[in-house]
Structure 1
């Protein structure tokens, strides 16, 4: 069988789809949870990219910062026999959907465009099920960032922290100056985001992998994990009483507006600073979370492709996958969303200092073995264990649970299947 280059397939698909004005327009239905300001602009760019290739976008947006609502909606759609063309799905969930036998194979696109050569091996493996590509990676987010308002630091007489000791020194000064030291939203996924950066800062990448990826019982219950919870308990004292239920972007707004000094959050927060017209290095600082400069917790957005019976649907799916991986879209998407491109070959010149540092740190950590998947953002463990672990963290954040009791509960949660 002769295999045509993907570019030829795209041209043929576009020509066939546009051959008759009476024919139904090509369409992809995409389920996603990109609904904040920076995220919405990124989606608008993907719609434009597809439209230029002759494919319409049917939006199925489900609000909810970490995607819990979207995951529920997707399950309902697939179980009813009406799977969307593609859905925003990440990490181990890709493998879970693969086991259901409902995914589309997009190896033709990946081979034609040489994805194996363009993607970091750790990323490529996540996008595959049983050796075949079933998802297109959109970008890479670094989770272990600390966002800082330098004007708040100056007013408090504090300096930007690199270590946990320096962080607490800065937090004390900000609090003493009558401002909120740590902007945080009291939602389980935000609690887990804070927790994993603290665990990485306390224990390093080796401990992080043992405890939060391999779920090793000794690491989960040992002294380093107890110290992690002790540190988390101390950070709680710098969070304001109104944090319960606060959305992450509203916490970021507290940094932007000078109401708070620091926020632990992934680099999607940068999209909110950009949308507010703020400049990296001047109006805000992006720093590795205290103690984590040598490591990188990654969160990869991806579009998972579902089996569709129609030939036109399948061609449109190929166009979607190709558009997602194009250098032009990878650049504009990450510029809007605050992330960095996942594929090689995208120019760095338009990216700010935060993104360029993220690119350099991703390369360095990948080589050093400290490029680790985010627990909080569905990259590290299966959904059942992740949910149980996040429940423990949320209980700890919202009670007087001791660190000793927390590690015992954490080890039990890790056994959830």
Structure 2
């Protein structure tokens, strides 16, 4: 286990630790936020695979598509000395938990199963703290996807979904005039920012995107290109329905599945909902790279970190979960259900659908051409503090009919600077 020298625990911690008692070495409590239909099915795959080995999965699922509520609960549990054995943690937050001394090293597991050889380097690095693996990745999601209902498009005479921002507004106007909802959207901050991110990647391009959301450069965050991002982002509001506020992302996806809306801009976890509904790509729905981002890949990686336990527990249960996640057959089954692609580079996608194959090809091309970027909206590019600041500015702007793009860009830079 990693040294715990930096952890400063209160008397409350001591009291709670003494009160926890002994937990069976076969139990693994797992915190996650996979609660929608497709996500829940994917979680069930992991649970069943682990339990087939004789371990008991104790589900600790907390609803909330962006994971903000889950992270709040996790912090409370960890500080009080009672963390779960495993928790869904992503991106720079992994480094933060590592700095605090909470996480178990997985080096023995990673070396045994050749993680360094099989995980893309850019993702492997984010799973490590001080060169030690402290988290295991499950998959690769592409965030910059557009999903479209084929029947609805055909009914209004549209033969191809839009592939650029300009085409989107033309197609959306046509759909709107025909009496349909062009864009399914849920009015939650993380969904607002997911939509914003797609537009930012198109307008800024990958290099400037990284300058803004990885390097936190104030001149880019407040510059003229960011003003244009906010300008185009505001136009999107004309093509969503008035009842969008508070809608969960999977409910928005269901609108596309059921033909109540034509399109959705969302990561490929949305495909898990189409799969759960029995829909087929190319027949019932289309998946195309989001507007103007064909050569870019905004990635989101689900990963689990493992906590050093204050109570008496055998770490073999934790390592069994890490091993299970990396097994080839589990990788295939889980990712076919989740809508993502396997994290392992040696897995054939012959049994996957056309959207997954396109995603894999896009990942490799983006990696080769420099178009691979960590998703800001999904917590892969920056800290929770900076992300929260971005969420507030972007979501407030989107929900303010009088919002000014130039003022929003200035506010964005100030908010990020204050959060650093």
Do the two structures share a fold, i.e. TM-score over 0.5? Answer: yes
Counterpart mapping for 1:129-208 below 5 A = 129-158=129-158, 159-208=160-209
Query: How far apart, in 2, do the equivalents of 1:412 and 1:328 lie?
Result: 47
Find the residue that maps to 1:140 and give its secondary structure.
Answer: strand
* Secondary structure of 2:83 counterpart: coil
Partner of 2:369: 368
C-alpha deviations, 1:81-105, integer Å up to 9, x for none? 0111110000011011111111100
Question: Match of 1:313, SS?
Answer: coil
1:282 aligns with 2:309: no
Say whether 1:117 aligns with 2:117: yes
Q: Quote how far apart the aligned CAs of 1:215 are.
A: 1.3
Q: Which residue of 1 aligns with 2:414?
A: 412
Q: Deviations over 1:88-127 (max 9, x none)?
A: 0000110111111111001000011110000000110010
| Pair 1:33 & 2:38 matched | no
Could you tell me how far 1:309 is from its partner in structure 2? 5.2
Between the aligned partners of 1:68 and 1:299, the Cα distance in structure 2 is: 15
Query: Once the 2 structures are TM-superposed, how far is the Cα of residue 24 of structure 1 from its aligned partner?
Result: 4.7
Task: Measure, in 2, the Cα distance between the counterparts of 1:385 and 1:200.
Answer: 18
Counterpart of 1:262 in structure 2 is: 263
Q: Which segment drifts farther, 25-34 or 194-203? A: 25-34
> Which residue of the partner structure matches residue 13 of structure 2?
none
2: CA distance, partners of 1:272 / 1:45: 15
SS of equivalent residue, structure 2 residue 57: strand
Map 1:285-364; keep pairs closer than 5 Å: 285-308=286-309, 313-364=314-365
For residue 308 of structure 1, report the CA deviation from its aligned partner.
Answer: 2.4
What SS class does the counterpart of residue 342 from structure 2 fall into?
coil
Distance 1:224 1:85, change over 3 A: same
C-alpha distance in structure 2 between counterparts of 1:367 and 1:234, whole Å: 33
SS of 2:329's partner is: helix
Decide whether the 8 Å contact of 2:82 with 2:310 is kept in 1.
Answer: no
Q: Is the 8 A contact 2:92 2:379 kept in 1?
A: yes
Tell me which residue corresponds to 1:56.
56
Deviation at 1:312, TM superposition (A): 5.0
CA contact (8 A) 1:374 1:380 kept: yes
Aligned equivalents of 1:24, 1:76: Cα separation in 2: 23
Distance 1:214 1:188 in 2: 22
| Equivalent-residue separation in structure 2 for 1:308 and 1:118 (angstroms) | 29
Would you identify which runs of 4 or more consecutive aligned residues in structure 1 move more than 4 Å? Answer: 309-312
Displacement of 1:233 = 0.9
Q: Give SS of 2:146's match.
A: strand
In the superposition, relative to structure 1, how do residues 385 and 73 fare at CA in structure 2: closer, same or farther (>3 Å)?
A: same
Distance 2:233 2:196 in 1: 7
Pairwise CA distance, 1:328: 1.0
Deviation at 1:216, TM superposition (A): 1.0
In structure 2, distance between residues paired with 1:127 and 1:55: 24
SS of 1:108's partner is helix
CA contact (8 A) 1:103 1:306 kept: yes
SS at match of 1:294: coil
Uncovered stretches (5+) of structure 2, i.e. residues with no partner: 1-22
* Displacement after TM superposition at 1:311 (Å): 7.6
Query: Are 1:83 and 1:306, in contact at CA under 8 Å, matched by a contact in 2?
Result: yes
Q: Distance in 2 between matches of 1:40 and 1:160?
A: 29
After the TM superposition, which residues 15-94 of structure 1 pair with which residues of structure 2 at under 5 Å, given as runs? 24=24, 26-94=26-94
After TM superposition, give the deviation of residue 393 of structure 1 in Å: 0.5
C-alpha contact 1:157 1:173 (8 A) present in aligned 2:
no
Q: What is the CA–CA distance in structure 1 between the aligned matches of 2:310 and 2:177, rounded to whole Å? A: 63
Provide the aligned C-alpha RMSD in A.
1.2
Q: Give how far 1:347 is off.
A: 2.0
Counterpart-to-counterpart distance in 1, 2:403 and 2:103 = 42
Distance (Å, rounded) in 1 between the aligned partners of 2:309 and 2:347: 31
Q: How far apart in 2 are the matches of 1:89 and 1:232?
A: 29
TM-score for the superposition, normalised by structure 2: 0.92
Compute the displacement of 1:313 (Å): 2.6
Residue 356 of structure 1, CA deviation: 0.4
Cα deviation digits, residues 365-413 of structure 1 (max 9, x gap): 1122211111111111111111011100001110021001100001011
Stretch of structure 1 that moved more, 308-317 or 89-98? 308-317
**TM-score under structure 1 normalisation?**
0.93
Partner Cα separation in structure 1 for residue 295 and residue 140 of structure 2 = 17
Partner of 2:18: none
Q: Which residues of 2 match residues 213-232 of structure 1 at below 5 A?
A: 213-232=214-233
